[in-house]
Amino acid sequence: MKKIQIIPFLMILFLSFNTNAQVSSKKKSIDIKDYVLFGEKFSSTKVYSNKQMLKKYESLKKGDTIKAQFRSDIKEVCKKKGCWMSMDLADSKESFVRFKDYGFFVPLNADKQNAIVNGIAYIDVVSVDELRHYAKDGGKSQEEINEITKPKITYAFQATGVLIKK
């Protein structure tokens, strides 16, 4: 008789663990209501972390592109128009994000906000003139701008849409 009572108990115990696992996995999904959309609407399907995205970038060569979505913190936004932003990647690296066809902008005060970008990742070589332009738009001093003397290889991203956490 005791064996029969143990089986229902074990089933209830198993089901409670299984339900808890399902609930915790749902917490990791992205709730679109927590974000404000800029640019084209997109569904966040396979969103990479900043560390996963850095690995994707490291596997690219100049000329390669990949469609991707990743989530990270915004390090800096163009202080003139909000026409570009840099996003934090792991190991003190960053991704420089521009917006497709200059079609939308993000808020000038979006620094330090969490964001999800959707678009194309690629490797880019940015000229000295362009780097100085971005430094000026980013509010850097003339002294800092003058220190830019070499082109820079960057992890670039052309976003079609951006979700910024409220």
What are 110's two structure tokens?
A: 């979006």
Question: CA 92, CA 88: separation in Å to the nearest integer?
Answer: 7
How many Å apart are CA 70 and CA 87, to the nearest integer? 10
More confident residue, 15 or 156: 156
Per the listing, tokens 């003339």 go with 142
Residues 6 or more apart whose Cβ sits within 8 Å of residue 15? none
Q: Residue 133 pLDDT more than 80? A: yes
Judge contact between 45 and 67, C-beta under 8 A.
no
Q: Which has the closest alpha carbon to 32: 46, 21, 22, 42?
A: 42
The H-or-E segment that residue 101 falls in is: none
User: Which residues, 6 or more positions from 94, have their beta carbon under 8 angstroms from its beta carbon?
Assistant: 75, 86, 87, 88, 155
Q: Where are the beta strands (DSSP E) in 8-108?
A: 35-39, 47-48, 65-77, 84-88, 94-99
Would you state the pLDDT for residue 13? 38
Supply the DSSP symbol for 100: G
**pTM of this prediction?**
0.75
pLDDT band at 18 (very low <50, low <70, confident <90, very high): very low
Q: How many CB atoms lie within 10 A of CB 45?
A: 8
Beta-carbon contacts of 41 under 8 Å, excluding residues fewer than 6 positions away, are: 161
Higher pLDDT, 57 or 137: 57
